[in-house]
Amino acid sequence: MERRWSLGQPVPAAAVALAMTFLAVVVTVFIRSGKSKFRMPPGPMGFPILGCLPLLGARPHESLAKLAKKYGSLMSITLGSVKVVVATSPEVTAEFLKTNDKIWSSRYTTTAGKILSYDGSDIVFSEMGPKWRYARKIFMMELFTPKRLADFQPSRKQEILRGVNDAITRSDGGAETVQLDVILAKVATNIVIRMLMNERSLSEKAAQIKNSDMFRETIKSTFKLLEGFYLGDYVPWLDRIDPQGMKKQMHAVAKNVDALAQTILDDHKMKFEINRKDLQGNSNKARSGEVEDIVDALLTRPRDADGQYLSEKEMKAIITNIIFAGTDTNSGTVEAALRELLRNPHVMEKALAEMDSVVGRERLVEESDLPNLPYVNAIVRETFRLHPAGAILVPHLSTDDCEIQGYKIPAKTTLFVNTWAIQRDPNVYERPLDFYPERFLGNKKDVHGQDFDLLPFGSGRRICPGKGLALLVVPYTLAIFIQTCNLRLPGDMKPAEDYSAEVSSAEGHHLEALVTPRLSKDLFLNTAI
């Protein structure tokens, strides 16, 4: 008798597996036949509904690097319902961000990016268009000009030296361990806040925010959410459930971010004694005796010839961009460099020898000395290479169909550039896992987005607009700490036993050291007050 399955009987596992396999093949053939004009790069098939999300794990840049070894330096994956191509070589990256930069200059905005950027009103996460071009023009030609950066040089020096004094005082003659990462984060935060609002004119409320632990915790929380993989971005129906609890965190952090930005704006408006209606006709004018800060420039900027202007929401978005771009990334890079100097004493010795030869011990190093310190600059570039602030660049989105490496990629495809993998590729760098600053001596390796094997700030139209500040703050902070401080590991810890090779793996592990003055404190104590 022929045996029939009923709804009340168990279905054999083999039959289920066969049916699922057949269904997957049919669906795949159907999808591919419906998009026959496109020839996507190779990549893993992934799982139903989730696509390749389960393959990413806790460290997506590492997982994608392993997949690229199998599928190639141009790979396609699906993350839920989102089509993604992944670039893992300088040549492929150049095709996206140089040859076809215009097509790939928009953004795939994640939920975190949207919530924390005032619905894409900022420079980092906004879509390509007239508003973005206008905001970036203001940013580059008025807010972060060489002149404005030069005007704030004294405040940068003062804040760095305050950090040095704090570290030396806390260490108490080398008797106490100091958490240098905490001090460096405070230094970077204060540098940016002083550019946003002149310290002499801070209101009591603004000063409280500037000095609060909540402010620095908000910055850390923001970066953690922006770097995380929120499942609702890729599987839309999960957005309603928020299984990771991330969306709730995003809204809570966004509330703190908005309170900070609103306080900064209100603080300036109160001093100007003007209301928002009066702002658009005023000319830029610094207050007497003070350097014009960034928020001054934002508030007093008139409409342009095309009638474009910045709304209050857009101004707050730009303020938060500046805070986040200029704090955690800069302090994290200096922290990574100091970790490596503690792990590699021979590198520290060479840096100290260069510092004593070029600057000496009778005066403090100045920003103007940086071009004459090639080894210190090589340390910075090697830190950019081995410890990128973003292991994967902020995702790009194509606005049109595009051909890359012979593959036809459709519009609305997301691009991941795995800089972590590129900058650790043995085919690109000799001894890629070693901290070896000498590799950058005597070469003109560009960090402005033209050399695609070193992209600390990205490339093309969406290159980080804050790179000018970073290229002053990072090497100068490092140079001052090298010149003024003797740094030692605590206890019996040996250099090789210090933290592992990746900055991101150091999360939750403070950079601890014993700090004593290397120069006479008279040289820098008064300057820091």
Q: Which residues are annotated as a binding site for heme?
A: 464
* Nearest alpha carbon to residue 390 among 250, 508, 502: 502
Q: Are strands 485-488 and 178-179 parallel, antiparallel or unpaired?
A: unpaired
Angstrom distance (rounded) from CA 126 to CA 118:
10
CB 412 within 8 A of CB 124: no
Extract the annotated binding site: 464
* Residue among 511, 528, 516, 505 nearest 58 (CA): 505
Which residue type occupies 323?
I
CA angle 362/366/368 to nearest 5° reads 130
CB-based contact 351:480 (threshold 8 Å): no
Q: At a CB cut-off of 8 Å and minimum separation 6, what does 423 contact? A: 385, 386, 388, 429, 432, 453, 454, 455
Can you give 438-499 as a three-state secondary structure string?
Answer: HHHCCCCCCCCCCCCCCCCCCCHHHCCCCHHHHHHHHHHHHHHHHHHEEEECCCCCCHHHCC
Tokens matching residue 455: 């992209």
Indicate the residue type of 331.
S
Q: Is 393 left (phi over 0), alpha (psi -120 to 50) or beta?
A: beta
- Phi/psi for 311 (5° steps) reads -75, 170
Cα distances from 62 to residues 68, 110, 141, 433, in angstroms, run 10, 21, 38, 14
